[in-house]
Amino acid sequence: AAEASARAWVGSRVVVALPGEPDRLRIHGPGADVGEAEPEIVSGLLSLSRVRNRGAAFGILADAALPYQAAFFVTLSLVALGAIVLYARRLPATAILPQAALAFILGGAFGNLIDRVRQGAVTDFLEVYVGTHHWPTFNVADSGITVGVLILAWDIWKHSPEKDDVNTTAIRKQA
């Protein structure tokens, strides 16, 4: 039973690690040079634009010329992946929503780690904007991380003891 449970746990993570794969399929395909002009997908909202991000999420520290910057972010990614795996393994099997959230985060972090190991940077290519206001360019793996974090935050908020105390207090006042 423990072996089957472990296989299911690993299998679910392998499937969710795929959020980073469309990045590699799109970016490493024919004509995949960084900086190459890309089409506008939704006029005034979404276009493709290849950007090499040597920094963290949303380009934080991307322009910093830190010694061993790629190694730092690879190490940070490995530590984060380990922490996610340890946290996920401690959750009960019935905690479907947090497990799914962690799987999105794990998949996105793993996808970006692959880019960092291969290229020393992450290739971002989705550019969202409204008029002249641009969101930092990102990739599908970043989206997986963001969705996972939002789901996990919502689940934590939904099950927080403080929230339960407030609801219990409100119910008692109505009685």
Whether the Cβ atoms of residue 91 and residue 100 lie closer than 8 Å to each other: no
Strands (E), 2-158: 40-42, 46-53, 122-130, 133-134
> Quick count: other Cβ atoms within 10 Å of Cβ 175?
4
Strands (E), 15-173: 40-42, 46-53, 122-130, 133-134
User: Which regions in the chain score pLDDT beneath 70?
Assistant: 1-38, 162-175
> Quick count: other Cβ atoms within 10 Å of Cβ 20?
26
- Specify the residue for token string 């969705």: 147
CA distance 160 to 122: 35
Q: Active-site positions?
A: 124, 142
pLDDT at 67: 84
pLDDT at 165: 54
> Quick count: other Cβ atoms within 10 Å of Cβ 147?
16
pLDDT at 30: 39
pLDDT at 56: 83
Sign for the CA dihedral angle at 10, 92, 114, 48 comes to positive
Q: Is the pTM of this model over 0.75?
A: no
Whether the Cβ atoms of residue 149 and residue 108 lie closer than 8 Å to each other: no
For 73, the token pair is: 């972010």
Determine whether 5 is exposed, middle or buried from the number of CB atoms within 10 Å of its CB (0-12, 13-18, 19+): exposed
